[in-house]
């Protein structure tokens, strides 16, 4: 402490000079518009550069975790490919006259993500020039994410699964019973599983997947795991809480689902009234 005091005392003139310089700069910035604007612009540029560098460093050290996630995705995709090959072999499909799959997937990066509100949205760095369109499904490494609401040339807005108006056609993997998944605007980790009749037996730990009964998601995409089942007297359906498979706060990259048969299916269903 004594050495520090001697150092300050020895250079006291220099420190007094710095103090008056700082005070002069503060007074000039406070009372002159041009200097204040210049200072603010320089400060914003400096803060932006620091933030960009910090993001770069954070992304760099996060590459290991991202690579692990990608490896898991590749493993799951390989399993599905082999399963599809088995089905193809069983049914002996003619590849020249049958389309083996209706789905293609476009990777996209999340550039904005909300998950703290009642109705949440996600912004992707891909738009209509990349093949994205309204009502296409979005899935992540761990399960479904939402569906596209709006697109521009280079960006898309996704209605998150954490949106109280979004209903996802689902089913219980073990029994195949149909149901719907809907978020209640509370916990970003949980959602309600609706319309499961009380006679259907299910228990904590059962898996919930997409049903494939719409054009948004392929069948079998993971939605969540049953966490709580309540059955009230004189009710038609169970009250079920599931833990969502997707962790929305940690989302970074997703895949957009392109269903090649969706236009034909939707067009046909729009004309079903002519059958009446």
**DSSP secondary structure string for all residues of 11-32:** THHHHHHHHHHHHHHHHHHHH-
Distance CA 36, CA 154 (A): 36
| pLDDT tens profile 89-129 | 555 444 443 444 577 888 888 899 999 999 999 999 999 99
Distance CA 268, CA 276 (A): 14
Q: What integer pLDDT is reported at residue 100 of this predicted model?
A: 45
Distance CA 257, CA 191 (A): 22
Q: What integer pLDDT is reported at residue 2 of this predicted model?
A: 67
Per-residue pLDDT at 236 exceeds 70:
yes
Is the pLDDT higher at 22 or at 159? Answer: 159
Q: What integer pLDDT is reported at residue 3 of this predicted model?
A: 73
What one-character-per-residue DSSP string does 145-191 give?
EEEEEEE-SS-EEEEEEEETT-EEEEEETTT--EEEEE--SS-TTEE
Distance CA 25, CA 168 (A): 59
Is the pLDDT higher at 4 or at 223? Answer: 223
CB burial class (10 A; 0-12, 13-18, 19+) of residue 133? middle
| pLDDT tens profile 156-200 | 999 999 999 999 999 999 999 999 999 999 999 999 999 999 999
Per-residue pLDDT at 253 exceeds 80:
yes
> Which pLDDT band, with edges at 50, 70 and 90, does 82 fall under?
very low
Mean pLDDT over 59-78 rounds to: 57
Q: Which of 198, 187, 164, 199 is CA-nearest to residue 241? A: 187
Give pTM, 2 decimals. 0.65
Task: Domains for the chain: give ranges and CATH numbers.
Answer: 2-61 (no CATH), 102-260 (2.40.10.340)
């Amino acid at each position: 402490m004594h050495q520090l005091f001697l150092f300050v005392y020895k250079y006291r003139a220099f420190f007094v000079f710095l103090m008056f310089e700082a005070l002069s700069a503060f007074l000039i910035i406070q009372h002159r518009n041009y200097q204040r604007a210049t200072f603010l612009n320089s400060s914003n540029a400096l803060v932006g550069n620091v933030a960009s560098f910090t993001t770069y460093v954070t992304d760099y050290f996060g590459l290991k975790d991202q690579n692990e996630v990608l490896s898991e995705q590749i493993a799951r995709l390989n399993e599905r490919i082999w399963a599809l090959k088995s089905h193809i072999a069983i049914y002996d499909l003619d590849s020249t006259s049958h389309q083996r799959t209706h789905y293609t997937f476009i990777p996209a990066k999340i550039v904005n993500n909300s998950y703290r509100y009642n109705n949440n949205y996600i912004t992707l760095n891909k738009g209509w020039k990349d093949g994205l369109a309204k009502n296409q499904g979005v899935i992540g490494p761990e399960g479904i994410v939402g569906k596209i609401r709006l697109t521009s040339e280079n960006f898309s807005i996704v209605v998150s699964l954490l949106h109280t108006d979004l209903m996802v056609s689902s089913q219980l993997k073990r029994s195949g019973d149909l149901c719907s998944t809907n978020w209640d605007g509370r916990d970003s980790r949980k959602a309600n599983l609706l319309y499961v009749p009380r006679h259907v037996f299910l228990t904590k730990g059962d898996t919930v997947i997409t049903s494939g009964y719409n054009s948004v998601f392929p069948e079998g995409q993971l939605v969540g795991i049953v966490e709580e089942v309540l059955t009230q007297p004189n009710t038609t359906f169970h009250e079920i809480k599931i833990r969502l498979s997707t962790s929305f706060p940690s989302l970074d990259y997703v895949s957009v689902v392109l269903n090649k048969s969706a236009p034909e299916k939707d067009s046909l269903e729009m004309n079903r009234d002519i059958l009446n």
